[in-house]
C-alpha cells in the first residue's frame, strides 16, 4: 500500500483544497493529512485561523479521499511525521516548490500546481467588502 502525506491549514475550506487533496490521494492508496495547529497557523500567517483546529480536522476527515488526519504542531517536524506515518510520498502545492526537497532521502516529494485564483486570504477580503446595499 502506497501512503501519501500532505500538510496545510485548510482554513475556510475551498475548491483549491479539494483539488489538491483529491490529486494527492490519486498518487497512492492511503492519504494522511497533517493539519496546522491554530498556533502554527498564527506563526505562518500572522493571524489565527477562522475555523479552529477541531473544526478543520472535522471537515478534512469527512472527505471521502482522506483516510487519516493529525495535528501538525511545527513545520520542523516533517521528518518525524514522515517516519511515524511511514509515508512513501510527500505532496504539497507548488507555492512550496523546492522547500521540502531535503526529505527526498526519506520518501518521494511532489509539488502539485495550485488551483488559480482562490485562497483563504482572498475569501476573507471578499467577505469583508461592504456590499452595495450597505
Ligand atoms: N492550495 C492549492 N490551491 C489553492 C490554495 C491552496 O493547491 N488555490 C494548496 C496549498 O498549496 C497547500 C494546501 O492547499 O498544499 C493547503 O494550503 P494552506 O491551507 O494555505 O496551507 P499552507 O499554509 O500552505 O500550509 O507544513 C506545510 C504547511 O503547513 C502548509
Q: Whose CA is nearest to atom 25 of ligand 1?
A: 8
Average the pLDDT over 22-36 and give the result. Answer: 98
Task: Assess whether the C-beta atom of 56 lies below 6 angstroms from ligand 1.
Answer: no
- What is residue 47's DSSP assignment? S
Q: Whose CA is nearest to atom 2 of ligand 1?
A: 114
- What is residue 106's DSSP assignment? T
Let me know: does 49 contact 56? Beta carbons within 8 Å.
Answer: yes
Model confidence band, residue 133 (pLDDT cutoffs 50, 70, 90): low
Q: Whose CA is nearest to atom 16 of ligand 1?
A: 8
Sign of CA dihedral 23, 127, 59, 33: positive
C-alpha cell at 97: 516548490
**From the CA of 8, how far away is ligand 1's center (Å)?**
5
The atom of ligand 1 lying closest to the CA of 117 is 8
pTM score, whole prediction: 0.94
Tell me, rounded to whole angstroms, the distance of Cα 81 from its chain centroid: 14
C-alpha cell at 34: 497533517
Model confidence band, residue 130 (pLDDT cutoffs 50, 70, 90): confident
Q: pLDDT digit string (tens) for 73-103?
A: 999 999 999 999 999 999 999 999 999 999 9
Domain boundaries, the chain: 3-128
The atom of ligand 1 lying closest to the CA of 91 is 15
Let me know: does 59 contact 14? Beta carbons within 8 Å.
Answer: no
Max CA pair span of the chain? 57
Span 3-128 CATH architecture? 3-Layer(aba) Sandwich (3.40)
Amino acid at each position: 500500500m502506497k501512503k501519501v502525506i500532505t500538510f496545510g491549514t485548510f482554513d475556510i475550506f475551498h475548491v483549491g483544497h479539494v483539488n489538491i487533496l483529491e490529486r494527492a490521494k490519486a498518487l497512492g492508496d492511503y492519504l494522511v493529512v497533517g493539519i496546522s495547529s491554530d498556533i502554527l497557523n498564527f506563526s505562518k500567517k500572522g493571524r489565527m485561523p477562522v475555523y479552529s483546529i477541531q473544526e478543520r480536522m472535522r471537515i478534512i476527515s469527512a472527505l471521502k479521499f482522506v483516510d487519516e488526519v493529525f495535528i501538525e504542531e511545527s513545520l520542523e517536524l516533517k521528518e518525524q511525521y514522515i517516519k511515524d506515518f511511514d509515508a512513501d510520498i510527500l505532496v504539497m502545492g507548488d507555492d512550496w516548490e523546492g522547500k521540502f526537497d531535503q526529505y527526498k532521502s526519506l520518501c518521494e516529494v511532489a509539488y502539485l500546481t495550485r488551483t488559480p485564483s482562490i485562497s483563504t486570504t482572498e475569501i476573507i477580503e471578499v467577505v469583508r467588502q461592504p456590499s452595495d446595499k450597505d
